[in-house]
Structure 1
Amino acid sequence: MPRLVVVSNRVADPRKTAAGGLAVALADVLNNTGGLWFGWSGKIVEPSAGGRADEGELRTQQAGPVKLVTLDLSREDHDAYYVGYSNGVLWPVFHYRLDLADFDAGYIAGYRRVNQLFARKLQPLLRDDDIIWVHDYHLIPLAAELRALGCTQRIGFFLHIPLPPPLILAAIPGHDWLIRALFAYDLVGFQSEADHGHFCRYIEAEARAQNLGEGRWRAFNRTIQAGAFPIGMDVEEFNALASAPDGLEMYERMRREYSRRKLLVGVDRLDYSKGLPQRLQAFRELLQRYPETHNSATLVQIASPSREDVGAYTDILHELESLCGSINGNYGELEWMPVRYIHRTVARSRLPGLYRASRVALVTPLRDGMNLVAKEFVASQDPQDPGVLVLSRFAGAAEQLKEALLVNPYDVEATANAIHLALQMPVEERRARHQALMANIREYDVHWWCDSFLDSLVKAQAEETGTPWLRL
């Protein structure tokens, strides 16, 4: 059986439930194949006096049958590759925010250097029949660097964040090199059909790629497969969290504290892509337009800290604090505060209880690759008395979760009206919507995502080289 090798910016122990996300998704296949997970250790090595920091030795940890291998980065490499290019250029552009991208700082050299470092350190660890799965925007050029070292293994890439339309993508200096690097992969996966469509239009217009049909494209003397593979969640794992002590305790506490209120919830990282100011403005509009929501509707907004050393994040933090203070000052009563704003991380084990106690979830990013909060909220609900999901049409999840109330987060008034509709929705309609949403979440869960991507990767490479199919 071929071994799965996962490469991502950060590495997580798949045995730990708290790791969530990618670790939960890949745990089974990594365990079954005795896999390897490779990435940055999260540690920064400061330079010694008068010199550049050493790359550092590889760190290896055994997590059951899975080998976790990490390496340190120098301060210079971290600042250029991670802070500078990945999060100062690619993140804002891929989220359609050209105004926040720092194109002029020359970070691209550090980005390429670290991808070369990853390739040099990973290549000696590889077996000839490994299947390599590279994750996210930090590592777009990694396959090209591995190919340059002679690697012929099957390599797939999955982009967890959105891909913008061709004209926005073309604003990146060196965009042609970046997209050409994707042709070193055998399979390139995206969160949504919209993102996949942006990629196809770009390579057709800019790279003159030949459309071979069925998601296959030919350019730069290589054939690749591209498609949409929307990531799902592990419904059973999340339901187990809901039944665990932390989840039950949170549910009971919230039910007691808000027995006379209608609870709305938002759970996000503090990021300009999440539409948090627009969400609070819509909530303020709700209170202004619908007086019956006073002393009733309460929004619990969790905004976990994220990259707060970057100016754009400091700005949004101050804006949120100002908005929350203004709403509470203008509408609050001694016995009721409309907004409870929490600027810290809440343990994942407690979230199912919070979701289940809430009548409405507000998942209203300005742009998002998927947004699993939307799916987690649906999975947490009581089927007999479910809450309502208010979902941005600009989240990747909107392509699948069509029974949610879809909104344009830029339209504050319309979003306020949708929230009011959600608060007033009769139980029969809530049940019907929830049943349809749950059917989709169960069918296209995290195991479907993992299996469908890896099956497509094996097939794509087999079509390119003529080698027999191998299945994990």
Structure 2
Amino acid sequence: MRQSSLVVVANRLPLDDSAAPDGACEWRRSPGGLAGALHAILQQTPATWVGWDGTVGEARTLPDVGTLRLRPVALDEDETRGYYEGFANSTLWPLYHDAVEPPVFDRGWWETYRAVNRRFAEAAAEVAEPGATVWVQDYHLQLVPQLLRKLRPDLLIGFFLHVPFPPPELFMQLPRRVELLRGMLGADLVGFQRPQAAHNVAQLASKLLGAEGADDAIALEDRVVRTGAFPVSIDVAEMRSLSARPYVINQAKKLRHDLGSPKKVLLSVDRLDYTKGIEHRLTAYSELLRDGRVKVRDTVMVQVAVPSRERVETYRGLRDRIEREVGRINGEYGRVGEPAIHYLNQPFDRADLAALYQTADVMVVTPLRDGMNLVAKEFVAARRDDSGALVLSEFAGAAAELEDAFQVNPHDVDGLKETLLHAMSAAPADLARRMAAMRHYLTVHDIHAWAQDYLTTLSFSSQSRTASIGSGSSIRSWPSPGKSNGAAP
């Protein structure tokens, strides 16, 4: 196995689930996903990606994708159920999203999660050259940093959590809370979407580990772990280029015609997940129709719900509820040839997604809790002019950056209704001001700025291995998140 100086470790390999006709591997670009976020960074950078290929059984031998080598990790049926569907997505995922759904604590799942994390760590240790940088991604692999450090103490290890990190009172519910915290803090640098997450971890490290911690560094035994917020972004230039393609422009025109060109188009694009607030959104729209404040003749909603975790019972139940509610709304308020809601439970390729972004008058992004939400950023980048409105949940990480969006509390259905009406009726000059400000922000804070910020801070974090908090100026001399690339904090 060839070794690399940069290794990315993530639950899934960045592969399209449908194989190309010639057997070649194609990069998977799901809306707002991890693979899409890292595509711009890795498409020209020699690296190795360690991850699961999504199949059950022996790992396949996979060709390179451009300059990226693929190192698959095998999972059998029991491991898929216990590690992925179980502990990662039925225990950690709901807990990390404010327990929107109750987390399930199963002792067997934990043992499988730990065993699979060890396999990922061993695979990363195998492909990393001496002194390499290893970048571990997300909650599926929270134990990998510490396991990898024991296997390869020569490595520079980063960990980035793409989802929210919960407040201490929620994290304390986890039966294996100490192991999970120590696992994550095995990294040299732990990155989060928002500063509050780093604060939460510092509090937990003090309470559970007796560590001396601050929001930017935690003294843990013989080393210091650097922490901080690095809000992930998108490849703005790539999205703008995609949106200018003739196919995308023509497809957007066709969609406007098919949807009814005079109508106001409300668009939502989500993974089918209970954290995304889809049911709250449908309730708000249904009540607007019921009260006559919105009419099918002049407004239509398009809801794209990309299939997700379909083997998990909670997700199957959510899909059934949403489909019943869409059917009820269309049955009560739709007209022949004019549904109130177009509901699409299918993946979309990037070009068709860009066309949808250009079609919408109002983009409705209202998760109950979200680490970031890159769909909101994609919508802003995809607009070729200053039209369009973004309705954005206060509880998405993107809300702290896209301050000119129409922000809303999605739990407040009445407030959501009023915000939708406000966005639909806003003056063109107001919309232009808002969109121009958000687009300017994203142009400066794009995916390249994010990666440079994180990786530069990680390179400085190697100094922490022998430092201690308050022992000198070494920690304070490191670049703060957001400063290494000249970006605003």
Q: What TM-score, normalized to structure 2?
A: 0.88
1:253 aligns with 2:246: no
Q: Counterpart of 2:372? A: 370
The CA RMSD measured in Å over matched residues stands at: 2.5
Q: Counterpart of 1:380? A: 382
Q: Counterpart of 1:400? A: 401
Indicate if the aligned counterparts of 2:303 and 2:341 stay in contact, CA closer than 8 A. Answer: yes
Q: Shift of residue 58 of structure 1? A: 7.3
Q: Shift of residue 16 of structure 1? A: 4.9
Question: Aligned partners of 2:113 and 2:270: how far apart in 1?
Answer: 27
1:42 aligns with 2:93: no
Q: Counterpart of 2:79? A: 77
Question: Aligned partners of 2:41 and 2:333: how far apart in 1?
Answer: 51
Q: Map 1:275-354 onto structure 2 (within 5 A).
A: 275-291=277-293, 293-354=295-356
**Residues 341 and 30 (structure 1 numbering): CA distance in 2 closer, same or farther, change over 3 Å?**
closer
Indicate if the aligned counterparts of 2:272 and 2:306 stay in contact, CA closer than 8 A. Answer: yes
Q: Shift of residue 181 of structure 1? A: 1.3
Question: Which letter does structure 2 place at the counterpart of 1:418?
Answer: T
Question: Aligned partners of 2:187 and 2:49: how far apart in 1?
Answer: 18
Specify every segment of 5 or more residues in structure 2 that has no aligned partner in the other structure, as ranges.
Answer: 17-24, 468-473, 479-483, 485-489
Instruction: Name the SS for the 1:102 alignment partner.
Output: coil
Question: Aligned partners of 2:59 and 2:350: how far apart in 1?
Answer: 33
Q: Counterpart of 2:132? A: 130
**Residues 27 and 388 (structure 1 numbering): CA distance in 2 closer, same or farther, change over 3 Å?**
closer
Q: Counterpart of 1:51? A: none
Indicate if the aligned counterparts of 1:271 and 1:316 stay in contact, CA closer than 8 A. Answer: yes
Q: Counterpart of 1:445? A: 446
Question: Aligned partners of 2:231 and 2:147: how far apart in 1?
Answer: 27
**Residues 30 and 342 (structure 1 numbering): CA distance in 2 closer, same or farther, change over 3 Å?**
closer
Q: Counterpart of 1:457? A: 458
**Residues 378 and 93 (structure 1 numbering): CA distance in 2 closer, same or farther, change over 3 Å?**
same
Question: Which deviates further from its counterpart, 349-358 or 323-332?
Answer: 323-332
Indicate if the aligned counterparts of 1:183 and 1:222 stay in contact, CA closer than 8 A. Answer: no
Question: Aligned partners of 1:373 and 1:180: how far apart in 2?
Answer: 32
CA-to-aligned-CA distance 1:255-278 (integer Å, 9 cap, x gap): 212212110000011111111100
Instruction: Name the SS for the 1:129 alignment partner.
Output: strand
Question: Aligned partners of 1:13 and 1:57: how far apart in 2?
Answer: 14
CA-to-aligned-CA distance 1:157-185 (integer Å, 9 cap, x gap): 00111111111111111111101112210
Question: Aligned partners of 1:368 and 1:31: how far apart in 2?
Answer: 27
Q: Counterpart of 2:203? A: 201
Indicate if the aligned counterparts of 1:183 and 1:223 stay in contact, CA closer than 8 A. Answer: no
Question: Aligned partners of 1:18 and 1:244: how far apart in 2?
Answer: 20
Instruction: Name the SS for the 2:74 alignment partner.
Output: strand
Indicate if the aligned counterparts of 1:59 and 1:71 stay in contact, CA closer than 8 A. Answer: no
Q: Map 1:137-286 onto structure 2 (within 5 A).
A: 137-211=139-213, 215-257=216-258, 258-286=260-288
CA-to-aligned-CA distance 1:277-299 (integer Å, 9 cap, x gap): 00000111222344354411100
Instruction: Name the SS for the 1:291 alignment partner.
Output: coil
Instruction: Name the SS for the 1:366 alignment partner.
Output: coil
Partner of residue 90 from structure 1, selected from 70, 73, 92: 92
Q: Counterpart of 1:65? A: 67
Q: Shift of residue 206 of structure 1? A: 3.1
**Residues 437 and 33 (structure 1 numbering): CA distance in 2 closer, same or farther, change over 3 Å?**
closer
Q: Shift of residue 33 of structure 1? A: 4.8
Instruction: Name the SS for the 1:128 alignment partner.
Output: strand
Question: Aligned partners of 1:265 and 1:465: how far apart in 2?
Answer: 51
Question: Which letter does structure 2 place at the counterpart of 1:19?
Answer: R
Question: Which deviates further from its counterpart, 26-35 or 361-370?
Answer: 26-35
Question: Aligned partners of 1:58 and 1:280: how far apart in 2?
Answer: 42
Question: Which deviates further from its counterpart, 106-115 or 235-244?
Answer: 235-244
Question: Aligned partners of 1:233 and 1:28: how far apart in 2?
Answer: 8
Question: Which deviates further from its counterpart, 323-332 or 447-456?
Answer: 323-332
Indicate if the aligned counterparts of 1:267 and 1:373 stay in contact, CA closer than 8 A. Answer: yes
Instruction: Name the SS for the 1:299 alignment partner.
Output: strand
Kindly, what percent of the aligned residue pairs are identical?
Answer: 35
Question: Aligned partners of 1:319 and 1:344: how far apart in 2?
Answer: 17
Question: Aligned partners of 2:146 and 2:264: how far apart in 1?
Answer: 52
Q: Counterpart of 1:427? A: 428
Indicate if the aligned counterparts of 2:373 and 2:396 stay in contact, CA closer than 8 A. Answer: yes
